[in-house]
Structure 1
Amino acid sequence: MNKHIILDRTRDYLAAELGCSPADLSGSGTLYVANTCARPPYIKLAAIGERVIASASPELLSRVRELTEGRSRDELFELPLVYGQTIHFVPDEIPSLPLPDGYEYRLLEGEAIGGLRGLEGFPNSLAFDSRGHTGTGIVFFAQSNGKIAALAGAGEESEGLWEMGVDTEPSHRGRGLGAALVSRLSLELMERGRVPFYSASVTNIGSQSVVHRAGLRPLWVDTYSNTLLDSYIYKATTIN
């Protein structure tokens, strides 16, 4: 899978989320977008390359512009309306990292993942709802003494674009399991014509280190919570 396909799919996904066109993600400076598709009240900032997109519900856009206009990219992401910044990574050069010795490895897809129902301790890579359903469509995991030690999973976020997550039991960390599983799962997805991507909080250095070793590189950063809940402490500042 070439890099043009990876970039095209991720840009299409990001543009749809922000309510703009993929072409709007190019260029520089801040672009203000009245997002009529997102559930209001909605505010989201995203930075990709030299471009910043300030996407907001139409009724909030003028207030967002008032709070942000004339500020640099770094200044924008320090404002009170920014809540929970996330870095998103896409494949660059994915190495086939060696799988650490001493483990058994398994790949499961589709309905076979249901056999892991009830598994706990892997919230970033595999989660089931109250009815026993999961959005995870493929998993690759390491097992030791009959118990899962680390697991990487992915689910379809939009057509052809799959988001990955990984968890490693504390007693098995520091052995390269996380990076090895993410790299192998990335390769599996791309062989199937799917583009994998990975998201990590800007404060989660450990998670970022794992995906760097697995051959993924940051493409964009955005704000995490995009709907202003009543508990949001800066809601009055943003809306009034």
Structure 2
Amino acid sequence: MEFNKSKMIEIVRKQLAIDMNCNIQDFIKDGIVFCEAKSNEGRRMFDRQSPFLEIATMGKSTVVSADSDILTKVKPLLETKTREDIFVAPFLFGHSLYYIPDCDRIKKISPPDGFTFHIKEGKEIHKLYKIPGFENAIQYDINHPCPDTLVIYAMYGYEIVAMAGASADSSLMWQIGIDVLPKFRNKGLATTLVSNLAIMIMDRGIVPYYGTASSNIPSQSVAYRSGFIPTWMCSYKNTFDGTAPYELICPNINTILKDNLK
């Protein structure tokens, strides 16, 4: 399949519509769209928080997908809000930004001087699981519901120093992750590996995508330099019991804050 921007955007809308149980056209409407969540066939096989709520936008409408009991509670809170106000709702925490290739900018790039690139596919990737330090690039789990499908890695001498991997999140879209060992960063490895991996994925008729936290500026820079463009944003997790996410790792956070802010 030969890709262009319009074709890839169309596939992203289709995938998000499957994931969120809405219509493809809902992402090009104005305003807010509310829909009841459902585990549709073909969805990206991520673990879903229970109760489930996810909010996404591709730049126009804001689509809110949630379990029915949650939907009835959040709809009155959100239906009059702007997109920006919705994404700072107190029951959300964390935002993820997602990118797809810009067909006019992305290109194959040769390895930087002194490095060699190598490729593994399918079960060959399992051999890399014995090498720690590349948790963003590969799953380290042969039974993962989003299996590793394609990896390109850089070697310096006899050492693997950087790795970009693709996970088969669905039949339509594969997600790219990247890791570079600290002492080999800022040498162009991340940009080069991500660009080349994305092209290899597109050659297979699959849309590659790249995700990062909204606060991760270095990762966003890699996406841009690799020839990717921002395409959608979604909520990361939620909390409905009045607790803050930090309470999971710091149970006394509220006491600490009160004492320190007196």
1:222 is matched with which residue?
234
Structure 1, unmatched stretches of 5+, are 235-240
1:92 maps to 102
User: Alpha-carbon deviations, 1:107-163, whole Å to 9, x = none?
Assistant: 11112112212111111111213xx54511100010112111110000111113111
2:203 paired residue number: 191
Distance 1:77 1:194 in 2: 30
Q: How far apart are the structure 1 equivalents of 2:81 and 2:174?
A: 34
Q: Distance in 2 between matches of 1:39 and 1:214?
A: 32
Q: TM-score, normalised by structure 2?
A: 0.82
Structure 1 counterpart of 2:5, from 3, 15, 40: 3
State the 1:84 CA deviation: 1.5
> Which deviations, in whole Å up to 9, do the C-alpha atoms of 1:145-190 show, x marking residues without a partner?
2111110000111113111100000000011100100000011111
Give distance in 2, aligned partners of 1:232 and 1:127: 30
Conserved in 2, the CA contact under 8 Å of 1:97 and 1:214? no
Matched residue, 2:81: 71
Distance 1:189 1:36, change over 3 A: closer
Contact between 1:26 and 1:51, CA under 8 Å: does it hold in 2? yes
The partner residue of 2:244 within 226, 229, 233 is: 233
How far apart are 1:62 and its partner, in Å? 2.1
Q: Per-residue displacement from partner, 1:49-104 (whole Å, max 9, x unpaired)?
A: 21101111111112111221211111111111222100010111312234211111
Q: Contact (CA 8 Å) 1:164, 1:196: kept in 2 or not?
A: yes
Of the three residues 103, 116, 119, the one matched with 2:131 is 119
1:22: which partner in 2?
24
Distance in structure 1 (CA, Å) of the matches to 2:92 and 2:240:
13
Calculate percent identity across the aligned residue pairs.
32
Q: Which amino acid aligns with 1:175?
A: K
Matched, 1:59 2:74: no
Q: Is the 8 A contact 2:94 2:237 kept in 1?
A: yes
Root-mean-square deviation (Å): 1.9
Deviations 1:184-219 (A, max 9, x none): 001111111111001100011100100100111111
What aligned pairs does 1:31-180 form with structure 2 within 5 A after superposition? 31-37=33-39, 40-93=50-103, 94-129=106-141, 132-133=142-143, 135-180=147-192
1:45–1:82 contact (8 Å) kept in structure 2: no
Measured in 2, the distance between the counterparts of 1:61 and 1:127 equals 33
Contact 2:20–2:38 under 8 Å retained in 1: no
Q: Which moved more, 1:132-141 or 1:164-173?
A: 132-141
Where 1:217 maps in the other structure, the secondary structure is strand
* Distance change in 2, residues 1:39/1:178 (3 Å): closer
Normalised to the residue count of structure 1, the TM-score between the two structures is 0.90
Unpaired runs of 5+ in structure 2?
Answer: 40-47, 246-262
Q: Cα distance 1:211–1:80, how it changes in 2: closer, same or farther (>3 A)?
A: same
Mean Cα deviation higher: 168-177 or 38-47: 38-47
Task: Give the structure 2 partner of residue 237 of structure 1.
Answer: none
CA distance in 2, matches of 1:82, 1:137: 32
> How far, CA to CA, are the matches of 2:219 and 2:240 in structure 1?
27
Cα offset for 1:9?
A: 1.8
Alignment partners' CA distance in 1, 2:118 and 2:240: 40
